[in-house]
Amino acid sequence: MLVGCVPKMDSNGELARDYLLEKGYSVKSYEGSYIYSVNRQELVEMPHISIWARQTVSPESYIGKDIIQEIFIVKNHPVIKINGTKVEVRVFIFDGQIIGGTSYPAEDGVVGWGYSLEGKTAEEVQNNNLDGWIAEWNKKYGQ
């Protein structure tokens, strides 16, 4: 008999799960955590530009630090209406506080920038001025 490995949820995972439940999402599974090290030089590269374009916080306070990404598969999320039946969400946590996150359809072969934790596109998060946001971003964080 084979027994699958199930990631063990720590206090950050519990914080993220509770947040998702409060938002009305149905948590189907916990997929584990990932440490995202914020490096200034990488901020002008993909996927970092797309990650931060979907956030409402600036990376300034997190440069040189680690953000914990708690990963879940959820239902009842706005992205389900766009594509799929399940959504992968990554809740970003720094110093015990939820600071943002991302969401993607949990389907093989899906590509693109994905969505904010709440299911908004980068264009929506950046007030429909993504090109202007990218130009300012590159000016600020480019070489």
- Tens digit of pLDDT for each residue in 72-125? 999 999 998 877 778 999 999 999 999 999 999 987 766 678 999 999 999 999
| Residue-wise burial string across 74-91, b where 16 or more C-beta atoms lie within 10 A, e elsewhere | beebebbeeeeebbbbbb
* Residue 100 burial by Cβ neighbours in a 10 Å radius (0-12, 13-18, 19+): buried
Higher pLDDT, 138 or 83: 138
Which token pair is 66?
Answer: 């680690």
33 close to 12: Cβ distance less than 8 angstroms: yes
Cis peptide before 47, with omega less than 30 degrees from 0? yes
The per-residue pLDDT for 82 is: 77
Share above pLDDT 90 across residues of the chain, in percent, rounded to a whole number: 82
The per-residue pLDDT for 64 is: 98
